[in-house]
Structure 1
Amino acid sequence: MDKVVSDQAEGLRRLLARNGSRVLAVTGGSTSVGCTTTVINLAAALAEQGKDVLVIDECLNEYSVSAMLGGMRGAGSFSSVVRGEMSLEAAAARHALGFSVLAAARGNRDAHTPAQLGSVLDGPADVVLIDAQLDRLGQLSALAMQAHDLMIVTRVAAQAITDAYACMKRLHYAHGIAQFRVLVNHVHSVTDARTAFENLAGVAGRYLAVSLEDAGCIAADPRMTRALELSRCVVDAFPSTPAARDYRHLAAELQYWPMRSAMSSRHHWVAPATVTAAQHADQPSAQLA
């Protein structure tokens, strides 16, 4: 009886605390920085901490969320959910680690209004993670623009940092985004990660008037590769490793990030345009090294 009362009380507390799903879009300046592995491990860590997590997979290729998890079947019909023909619970594939995955091909997600896309994100999940696919101009989908936060994943390497800056520049000019969170992946020391973040934040603030927030760092860990070979994530396969601990720390921290409005409602979308020569000229590559 005591357990029933306790469970009911916990359920009531969660219900009263709920203020809609927290939506986080994750992307990076290049394909080799580990965005998809970040999404998978973060989803596993959040589920481990008792959160209802939905992963929306925009990057449908051989390195997609489903592919990395061993080819999950039935990752849903995004269009059917948006059109109200199928419930989110019925459409999304449920992984054994406790999170759901919904595939969102470009043709499906681009055919709907922001209001329709937003309705998918207003489901029962505590956290929605979008593995965001940038288009050929380096811009976000209308779906990813429904996120409350955009996290850029990078590494401690000159080219990766330069690519991250270029990515933020394109997104800033395309969507008017003035704030990003930055996660430094595959680091050998916290000091290196902090130095890389501070350099990037200083240049972004000076040249773009964009503010960056430090999302932390993930340790370089050889067991990350082994986990992928096993079609698993490091949080599940090797939970005591430094990288797994870092993902669990990030999962715990993000639950206390300020809950902002969706990016699409904070910034007026402007017609896509290529970056001008003048904008290219302010690329402070040397200062990012």
Structure 2
Amino acid sequence: MASFECDQAEGLRRMLAGPKPRIFTFLSATSVADKSAMLVNLSASLASSGSDVVLLDACISKDGITRRMGVEVQATLLDVARQQRALNQVVQAMPQGFGIASLTSGSVHLATRDADELRRLSNAFGVLAAQSDVLVVDAELDESDNFTIPGMASGDIVIQVAPGAASIKEAYSLIKRLNTQLGRRPFGILVTGADEREAEVVYQNMAHVASRYLAVQLHSIGSIPSDESTTRAARLGRAVIDAFPMAGASVAFRRLAERFTLSANGVKLGA
């Protein structure tokens, strides 16, 4: 079994030799089903464009992407941090074209209570990011409104919101909590379950309130419409862009993947 030190050295070489790893950390103010569908289809769309994509389950609750996809986790980043497994045993290839990994299979609180263990876990997270073209993080905030790993805030933070009062209120609450912990910084807004016109209204209203009351700048990432094709594709165990490439959701996910890919070349996400 390859050692964590070898994995770490390779990750550091990639950090020095290549562009900065792209980390996109997602927080959702939508249902678990909507969040999961978005993460799977976005990751598949990014992979189809030629990127090596890893989707990391970093959820504190049991509503993370690995459980939603029925993935049997064999090794976690915590195992790597404890030098019980190698990093190449953590990422499992999915039929949709991307890899999937999990931060831990047990209590995140216990894993991060010890400062040395948290440091090693953070190092493992950094190496995973360095060895991937794109790291998509399925995240939640803890009871102190922090991310489990500080590095999750080092890239772009995107809030997923739906066009309903409850979802918009929850999304704004997430922004306030993040602002308190991280200080003023921009956030991306992705509206799902809405057409472009409806999504623009949601975004403009949120951007106005965030700017006025928090002095926080929001960026519109785009929108994904409601589309039964997404549900049908999930039942087939496939991404919508593969199963129904001409569907409205497929067009939207491809457009979204292009915007995320452009951000690696210095174009601001949401610009």
Please give the range of the TM-score, normalised by the shorter of the 2 chains.
Answer: 0.7 to 0.9
Does the CA contact (< 8 Å) of 1:33 and 1:185 recur in 2? no
Residue 255 of structure 1 deviates from its aligned partner by 1.5
Distance in structure 1 (CA, Å) of the matches to 2:260 and 2:55: 15
The unaligned stretches of length 5 or more in structure 1 are 1-13, 261-289
Q: Does the C-alpha gap of structure 1 residues 144 and 205 become closer, same or farther in structure 2, counting only changes over 3 Å? A: same
Shift of 1:237: 2.8
Superposed displacement of residue 235, structure 1: 2.8
Residue-by-residue CA offset, 1:179-227 (whole Å, 9 max, x unaligned): 100000011x211111110110011000001000110000111222223
Q: For 1:62-211, list aligned pairs within 5 A.
A: 63-69=63-69, 71-74=70-73, 76-105=75-104, 106-107=108-109, 110=112, 111-113=117-119, 115-143=122-150, 145-187=152-194, 189-211=195-217
Shift of the alpha carbon at 1:251? 0.9
1:278 counterpart residue number: none
| Count of aligned pairs between the two proteins | 245
After TM superposition, the structure 1 = structure 2 runs for residues 7-26 of structure 1, keeping only pairs within 5 Å, are 18-26=18-26
- TM-superposed CA distance for 1:87, in Å, is 3.0
Contact 1:24–1:148, Cα closer than 8 Å, also in 2: yes
Tell me the C-alpha RMSD between the 2 structures: 2.8
Question: % of aligned pairs identical?
Answer: 29
In 2, Cα distance between equivalents of 1:200 and 1:230: 35
Do the aligned residues in 1 keep the contact of 2:77 with 2:125 (CA within 8 Å)?
A: no
The answer to whether the 8 Å contact 2:23/2:137 transfers is: yes
Looking at structure 1, the residues matched to 184 and 33 of structure 2 have their Cα atoms a distance apart, in angstroms, of 21
Cα distance change, pair 117–88 in 1 and its aligned pair in 2 (3 A):
closer
Which protein shows a greater Rg?
1
- The 3-state SS of whatever aligns with 1:204 is helix
> Could you tell me the TM-score, scaled by structure 1's length?
0.75
Q: Amino acid of the residue matched to residue 160 of structure 2?
A: V
**How far is the alpha carbon of 1:42 from its aligned partner?**
1.0
Give, as a single letter, the amino acid of the residue that structure 2 aligns with 1:112. Answer: L
Query: Which AA in structure 2 matches 1:212?
Result: L
Q: 1:133 to 1:42 in 2, by over 3 A?
A: same
Question: Partners of 2:134 and 2:93 in 1: how far apart?
Answer: 15
Distance 1:38 1:165, change over 3 A: same
Which letter maps to 1:42? L
Between the aligned partners of 2:18 and 2:257, the Cα distance in structure 1 is 17
Partner of 1:29: 29
Q: Is residue 57 from structure 1 mapped to residue 64 from structure 2 by the alignment?
A: no
Q: CA deviation at 1:17?
A: 8.7
Could you say what secondary structure the match of 1:55 adopts?
strand
Counterpart-to-counterpart distance in 1, 2:164 and 2:59: 24
How far apart, CA to CA, are the structure 2 residues paired with 1:208 and 1:259?
A: 29
Equivalent position amino acid for 1:80 in 2: D
Q: Distance in 2 between matches of 1:109 and 1:127?
A: 25
Q: Secondary structure at the match of 2:263?
A: coil
Give the whole-Å Cα distance in 1 for the aligned partners of 2:133 and 2:38: 18
Shift in alpha-carbon separation, 1:33–1:107, aligned structure 2, 3 A: same
Match of 1:47 in 2: 47
Q: Secondary structure, in 3 states, of the residue corresponding to 1:112?
A: helix
1:120 deviates by 3.0
1:97 shift after superposition: 2.5
Pick one of 230, 237, 246 that aligns with 2:243.
Answer: 237
- Does the CA contact (< 8 Å) of 2:190 and 2:221 recur in 1? yes
1:112 deviation in Å? 1.3
d(CA) in 2 for partners of 1:139, 1:229: 34
Structure 1 runs (4+) greater than 6 angstroms displaced: 14-17
The answer (yes or no) to whether the contact 2:53–2:99 under 8 Å persists in 1 is: yes
